[in-house]
Amino acid sequence: MITIYNHHHALHHGKVEMFRGELVPCFEIPARADFVLQELERRQLGTVRAPDDFDNAAITRVHAERYVDFLTGAWHEWVALDPANAQRDAFPSYWPIRTFRSDVLPASFPARMGLFSYDAGSPLTSGTWQAARAGACCALTAARLVSGGMRSAFALTRPPGHHAGADFFGGYCFLNNAAIAAQSFRDAGAARVAVLDVDFHHGNGTQAIFYDRPDVFFASLHGDPHTEYPYYLGYADEQGAGAGLGANLNLPLPRGTDFAVWREALALALQRIRAFGADAMVVSLGVDTFAGDPISGFQLQSADFLQVGADLAAAGLPTVFVFEGGYAVAEVGTNTVNVLDGFGQTA
């Protein structure tokens, strides 16, 4: 399997994040991708290359133009408010929740930052835009290669993407790499595309992007939003809207779920993807389902991820993998590469 690696990912390196009422060191750190790359190289699993470059038009196929414009200049605006901000990450302080307007773009930078975000746990840093944009190019390159006939490709990038919506960031995510890859498949001629999210946390951004579309099927197995982030989306009764009704499948699972039960949910998701008639599949590959993950709650073991890869390969679809969560940093390389290895052994 070919890996498209974001050499700029470490430019996004938050100092702290807000977690349960206090500022703590970031869970989402550059070492996550570094360990995956090291494990790929140790096993000599395929080849690694840099992404092609794409212009922003490929990104605005998924994300609102005014949101992309905001991200492009956000760090410079933050520092312009106060030169001392160059030593501090930027966090939102205000949000336009129910009854507030979101159609008017405020002149105030803090107000716009709140408009385009939904939590206070995602630090925006000096290199966030460069890292996120390069990550989108990784996803686009992977989709282009697979659209061109390659069986599979892996976009190894961070920050992750599945919590980012068309015009908002949160959950460590700024650009939705999985959605960008799915749209790239559509633009290359795939009539129907599936996005399968196996991260512990629901891919709320991906769901929101495709919720009313009949051409992209979104399936997610994740921690029950009654108790797990992102809380406000991911319930089983969310099945799509309008023309997209029936093209959204949420399989929320309780904290403590073991691999046998989790695998049953995966089988159901793959069954629905086959019934949908997808021509290609994008996998939001989060490995925070691992039992040792510090901010998640499932019980998968490292060896289980080999079987996950084999199950995904059995779907028989051209597949792009996009790196998402996984915060047990010492094990993230083994767990991620086990999925790719299991896929390759079966494909």
pLDDT for res 180: 98
Number of domains in the chain: 1
- 73 assigned to some structural domain: no
163 is an active site residue:
yes
pLDDT for res 127: 98
Integer angstrom CA distances of residue 163 from 14, 96, 173, 212, 343: 17, 18, 6, 17, 25
CA angle 85, 115, 101 (to 5 degrees): 145
- 199 assigned to some structural domain: yes
pLDDT for res 347: 63
pLDDT for res 272: 98
Mean pLDDT within 51-58: 97
DSSP 8-state assignment for residue 284: E
Packing angle between helix 304-313 and helix 329-346, nearest 10 degrees? 40
The answer to whether residues 47 and 3 touch, using CB atoms and an 8 Å cutoff, is yes
Selecting among 9, 162, 163, 202, the annotated active-site residue is: 163
Mean pLDDT within 322-339: 97
Domain of 304: which CATH number?
Answer: 3.40.800.20
First to last CA, the chain: 10
Q: Which residues contact 157 (CB under 8 A, 6 or more apart)?
A: 4, 5, 6, 9, 33, 131, 134, 135, 138, 139, 177, 322, 323
Q: Which strands sit side by side in the sheet containing 193-197, from one edge to the other?
A: 48-49, 2-5, 152-156, 319-323, 280-285, 193-197, 216-223, 248-253
| Mean per-residue pLDDT of the chain | 97
pLDDT for res 197: 98
Mean pLDDT within 42-56: 96
Tell how far CA 162 is from the center of its chain.
Answer: 3
- 148 assigned to some structural domain: yes
Question: Cβ atoms within 10 A of the Cβ of 276, count?
Answer: 19
- 20 assigned to some structural domain: no
Report how far residue 116's alpha carbon sits from residue 118's, in angstroms, rounded to the nearest whole number: 7
- 316 assigned to some structural domain: yes
pLDDT for res 346: 79
75-115 pLDDT per residue, tens:
999 999 999 999 999 999 999 999 999 999 999 999 999 99
Q: Residue 278 sits in which domain range?
A: 2-7+44-63+131-346
332-347 pLDDT per residue, tens:
999 999 999 999 987 6
Tokens of 18: 């807000």
- 37 assigned to some structural domain: no
Does pLDDT of 21 surpass 90? no
- 251 assigned to some structural domain: yes
Which amino acid would we find at residue 285? L
SS3 content of the chain, % helix, strand, coil (to 5): 40, 15, 45
In percent, how much of the chain has pLDDT > 90? 97
HSE-up of residue 82 (Cα within 13 Å, Cβ side): 7
- 262 assigned to some structural domain: yes
